[in-house]
Amino acid sequence: MNRIRTILFNLRQSNKYAISNPINFEEKWSFNATGIQLFSFISIFCLIIGVLFTFLALKGPFSSYLTKNDVTLDRTNLEIQHQKIISLTQRINEQEAYILSIKKIISGDVIEDSLDQNIPETQPINTTKIQTERTENETKLSEKVKDDLRTNPKRRKKSTIQFFVEPVTGVISQEFEINNHPGLDIVTTKDKTVLACLSGTVIYSGYTQKDGFVLILDHANGYISVYKHTKTVLKKLGSKVQMSDPIAIVGNTGENTSGPHLHFELWYNQSAVNPKDYMNFK
């Protein structure tokens, strides 16, 4: 207790603080202050220096080195944004290609192969050396063709295709309607494999915002099949497929869907037909 009193007494005592020349001890500057006054002055001075340093750190020219700039993105975020831009660009290109393919299908245009433009020139043929007399086999073939032409046109079939394979089996949640819904919605097991209903060629394989992953096959005799909302497609543009080949996985992609199912369309001679007239989905 006495020690505390001694300390407080010394702090109240006025002392002289001076700066002098160390060679001749000439006094240059001095002031009188108690210990409490000196401590208060030092505390206020340190506080002012701290506030000034904090202000310079946050608002001064070195703030970018001491604080994190919220506008600056790190490398990881930049790479993620770059991948999103590439993905969106690819989807836009695929959607444009899909729309162009559908327009060509509906209008009946034939997609020309670029290889046809490089057909070599044909050599002239000497017709004097060609044997023009009809052989016995050619005569028989000619008679058979004539018999086929005499067949009653009403008995001819519209298409030589007689059998289709169901792409999936399941419950039909939405029926075919020529104007509003030119296909069937088939609810089936999640991640079930989608099969090609007939052999053909892939004329579109990609993603659209509306229908998700879409695959379109061109078959013989004017038939085209469309598979929408798949989880992923297994075939690329131009691929040849056989009947019952796996071509996609049932999914729930695109905006026009509310659950895992397959939207399946069948077109004949540029007109949508009811797939139930050709196959059984149960």
Task: Convert the pLDDT of each residue in 134-193 to its tens digit.
Answer: 556 556 655 655 555 444 444 434 444 558 899 999 999 999 998 899 999 999 988 899
**194: Cβ–Cβ under 8 A, 6 or more apart, which residues?**
167, 168, 215, 227, 230, 246, 247, 248, 249, 250, 262
Mean pLDDT throughout 102-110? 64
- Single-letter amino acid code for the residue at 242: Q
Whether 13 and 34 have beta carbons less than 8 Å apart is answered as yes
- Please identify which residue in the block is written with the tokens 């401590």: 39
pLDDT at residue 23 in the model: 75
pLDDT at residue 119 in the model: 38
Which structure tokens are listed for 146?
């004539």
DSSP 169: -
Q: Find, among 153, 195, 187, the residue nearest to 170 by Cα.
A: 187
Domain range summary for the chain, segments of one domain joined by +: 2-64, 73-109+164-282
- Single-letter amino acid code for the residue at 107: S
Task: Count the neighbouring beta carbons within 10 Å of the beta carbon of residue 250.
Answer: 24
pLDDT at residue 133 in the model: 56
Q: What is the pLDDT of residues 196-216, one digit of tens each?
A: 999 999 999 999 888 999 999
Task: Count the neighbouring beta carbons within 10 Å of the beta carbon of residue 57.
Answer: 13
d(CA 248, CA 229): 10
Neighbour-count burial of 244, counting CB atoms closer than 10 A to its CB (0-12 exposed, 13-18 middle, 19+ buried): middle
User: Across all residues in the chain, what is the average pLDDT?
Assistant: 77
**245: Cβ–Cβ under 8 A, 6 or more apart, which residues?**
195, 196, 235
d(CA 55, CA 40): 23
Task: Look at 98 and 237; give whichever has higher pLDDT.
Answer: 237
Whether 159 and 222 have beta carbons less than 8 Å apart is answered as yes
Cα 211 to its chain centre, rounded Å, is 12
d(CA 197, CA 212): 20
pLDDT at residue 63 in the model: 59
Q: Which CATH code fits 73-109+164-282?
A: 2.70.70.10
Q: Find, among 249, 250, 247, 261, the residue nearest to 198 by Cα.
A: 247
DSSP 26: -
DSSP alpha helix (H) spans, 60-208: 63-66, 75-107, 136-149
Question: How many Cα atoms occupy the beta-carbon half-sphere of 207 within 13 Å?
Answer: 16
Whether 211 and 205 have beta carbons less than 8 Å apart is answered as no
Helix (H) and strand (E) counts in the chain: 5, 12
DSSP alpha helix (H) spans, the chain: 2-12, 35-59, 63-66, 75-107, 136-149
H helix or E strand, kind and range, residue 203 = strand 200-208
Task: Look at 132 and 281; give whichever has higher pLDDT.
Answer: 281
Tell me the whole-structure pTM to 2 decimals: 0.47
